[in-house]
Structure formats: C-alpha cells, structure tokens
Amino acid sequence: MPDLALLATVLTSIKTATDIVRGLRDADISLEKAELKLKLADLMTALADARIAVSSVQEELLTKDRQIKELRESLDLKKAMKYQAPFYWLEEGGKRDGPFCQQCYDSAQKAIRLQVLENQYWRCNTCSHTYAPGGSRPRQVRAVTDFDPRDP
C-alpha cells in the first residue's frame, strides 16, 4: 500500500489546482494580467506537485508488484521442490529435474544444480559439498602407510 502521506500530498495538490481553476472561472473580468499570471503559475505548481506525487505512488506500486511476483515464484519453487535423500528434486507436471544441492537449498533457498563427478559422485560448485553414490556421505579418506610407530 502506498504511503498515506504521499497520497495525502497528491490529493492536496489536486485540490489546490481545482480551487485555483474554480477561482479563475469565478473571477471578475476585471482581474489584472499580473493576478491572472500569478494564479496560472500557482496552478502549474500545484499540478507539477500532483504529477510528482502520482509518479512516486506509481513507482512504489511497481516495486510492490515486483516483490509479489518474486514471492509467488519462491512459493511455487518451494511447492515443486521435493527432498529425496541426499538431494532435492524439482518435480513439475510428472517430470523430475535435478538433483539440487540440499545444503544450498536448506540454508539459502537456492536451487543449485549438482554436477556429476567421477564414480557417480555429485558436487555443488557453489558450496563445494560433495555427495556420494547411492546417497551415502563420502567416506573419510585415510592415509595408508607401512610405518608402524610402535615397531622399532
């Protein structure tokens, strides 16, 4: 909703312009040129103020429309995004798209498509999270050595 003070400014400017026009219409023919020019200048100022205020209201309404559109798109994405461990999948019209990074979607509501690596591992190029084949977490890699510290 546009700012009430802004709407009041618009209405005041339009009322002022209307009062000036009414005054000019009702004025006696004996109005001097200087007075007429002054009234017309006041009228132009009031109309300019009204135009600026209407423009501000219009800009605010456009901003609100953009925000509403973004929120609707976000809600539609949330409805279509389905979690199947360890990924998110986008399911629309019976079709499945993805997989998408669970960490990025849960933390920032960003649908980041995963990239397949060797051995069917998946990696998110945004958060660098790696997913193992079959949905398991990647196992810890341990160094194997021939060295036994207890052996002299």
CA 72 to each of CA 46, 78, 81, 110: distance values in angstroms, whole numbers, following the listed order: 39, 10, 14, 15
Full residue range of the structural domain in which residue 130 is found: 85-135
> Is residue 117 domain-resident?
yes
> Is residue 152 domain-resident?
no
Q: Which pLDDT score is estimated for 47?
A: 82
> Is residue 99 domain-resident?
yes
Last residue of a domain, one of 49, 73, 97: 73
The answer on 10 and 44 residing in a single domain is yes
The answer on 10 and 69 residing in a single domain is yes
Interior angle at CA 124, CA 119 and CA 126, nearest 5: 155
CB 50 within 8 A of CB 10: yes
Last residue of a domain, one of 50, 73, 96: 73
> Is residue 80 domain-resident?
no
Q: The whole model's pTM is what?
A: 0.52
Q: Residue 64's pLDDT band (boundaries 50, 70, 90)?
A: very high
pLDDT tens sequence across 121-142: 899 999 989 888 765 554 444 5
pLDDT tens sequence across 67-95: 999 999 989 888 999 998 888 999 988 89
The answer on 59 and 23 residing in a single domain is yes
Number of domains in the chain: 2
